[in-house]
């Protein structure tokens, strides 16, 4: 197998991965809180090849050596956390984030956490029978609540008492409102991603921090205020930030590059067949 075939084959593999990323973005153009994925490529090893001395003819002005590449590979897929458009729903459990922040949810009984921009929440019954705020897939939303025994602020769930309606202020404070009284239920915990590239997209429109990476180096807790331009909007949902026009344009470009690499591979195979058929 010659170098041109290796170059074409490696490039086709990277372009196929890019096509998979674009297909995922297009499939989620209407998914609430979805963040488009962006792929990063880099060249593989390049080396300088020297032409035989016979190529050095009188009057030659171009360099005799030439650069030989070995294709490109996809090195990273990271989420683009730019703001998506907000759509009003008038549903009290729908909450949208304005600004650069993420909701934190609990994914299992071991306390493992994940992060999302999907604020399509619901009130569901927890393991102890309390009515709590959770995602559509049943993951409890993490909040800062006051411990009734010690009075200290700890991490927990938003528990909505029977007969109370949910109200969420722009700073994340959650209140239970009834005709007789208003109770403070806690504050929704928000985190800001300082290293979005370290977030890995998983099922259920969630992000996790890969094993071996310090979570504190990737996301940090943040409190919404006027300085960081972060706020919560109750009764709204953030839509996907995927632009179908941009994705289709990129899809056409990648398909053309893939076809070009496929033709190069076919041409190399044809030339090798011709060379093998030569007789002295």
115 or 210, which is more confident: 115
pLDDT at 54 over 80: no
Give the pLDDT confidence of 134-149 residue by residue, as tens digits: 999 999 999 999 887 7
pLDDT at 4 over 90: no
198 or 54, which is more confident: 198
Q: Are residues 197 and 219 in the same domain?
A: yes
44 or 271, which is more confident: 271
The total number of structural domains in the chain stands at 2
Q: Are residues 117 and 182 in the same domain?
A: yes
Separation of CA 260 from chain center: 29
Judge whether 229 and 201 are in contact, CB under 8 Å.
no
Check residue 69 and give its pLDDT. Answer: 63
Judge whether 40 and 78 are in contact, CB under 8 Å.
yes
Range of 183's domain?
86-238
Q: Are residues 186 and 91 in the same domain?
A: yes
Enumerate residues 6+ apart whose C-beta is below 8 A from 155.
Answer: 142, 143, 144, 145, 189
Give exposure, 105-144, as e/b (b: 16+ Cβ within 10 Å): bbbeeeeebbbbbbbbbeebeeeeeebbbbbeeebbbbbb
Give the pLDDT confidence of 87-98 residue by residue, as tens digits: 999 899 999 999
Q: Are residues 218 and 202 in the same domain?
A: yes
Euclidean distance between CA atoms 215 and 199, whole angstroms: 10
pLDDT at 63 over 70: no
Q: Are residues 155 and 137 in the same domain?
A: yes
Two structure tokens written together for 32: 């609430």
Q: Are residues 185 and 231 in the same domain?
A: yes
Q: Are residues 144 and 258 in the same domain?
A: no
What pTM value is reported for the model? 0.81
Q: Are residues 95 and 223 in the same domain?
A: yes
- Rounded to the nearest integer, the mean pLDDT of the chain is 87
Euclidean distance between CA atoms 225 and 44, whole angstroms: 45
Q: Are residues 101 and 208 in the same domain?
A: yes
């Amino acid at each position: 197998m010659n170098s041109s075939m290796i170059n074409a084959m490696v490039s086709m593999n990277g372009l196929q991965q890019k096509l998979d990323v674009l297909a995922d973005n297009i499939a989620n153009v209407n998914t609430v809180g979805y963040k488009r994925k962006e792929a990063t490529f880099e060249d593989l090893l390049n080396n300088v090849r020297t032409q035989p001395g016979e190529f050095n003819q009188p009057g030659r002005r171009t360099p005799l050596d030439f650069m030989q590449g070995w294709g490109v590979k996809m090195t990273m897929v990271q989420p683009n956390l730019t703001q998506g458009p907000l759509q009003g729903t008038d549903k009290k459990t729908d909450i949208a984030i304005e600004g650069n922040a993420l909701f934190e949810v609990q994914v299992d009984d071991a306390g493992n956490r994940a992060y999302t921009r999907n604020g399509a929440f619901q009130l569901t019954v927890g393991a102890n029978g309390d009515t709590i705020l959770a995602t559509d897939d049943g993951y409890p939303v993490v909040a800062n609540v006051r411990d009734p025994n010690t009075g200290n602020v700890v991490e927990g769930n938003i528990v909505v008492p029977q007969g109370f309606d949910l109200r969420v202020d722009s700073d994340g404070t959650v209140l239970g409102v009834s005709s007789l009284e208003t109770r403070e239920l806690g504050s929704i915990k928000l985190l800001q991603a300082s290293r979005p590239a370290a977030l890995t997209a998983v099922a259920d429109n969630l992000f996790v921090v890969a094993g071996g990476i310090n979570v504190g180096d990737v996301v940090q807790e943040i409190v919404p205020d006027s300085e960081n331009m972060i706020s919560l909007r109750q009764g709204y949902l953030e839509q996907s930030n995927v632009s179908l026009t941009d994705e289709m344009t990129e899809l056409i470009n990648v398909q053309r590059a893939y076809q070009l690499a496929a033709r190069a591979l076919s041409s190399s195979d044809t030339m090798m067949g011709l060379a093998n058929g030569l007789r002295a």
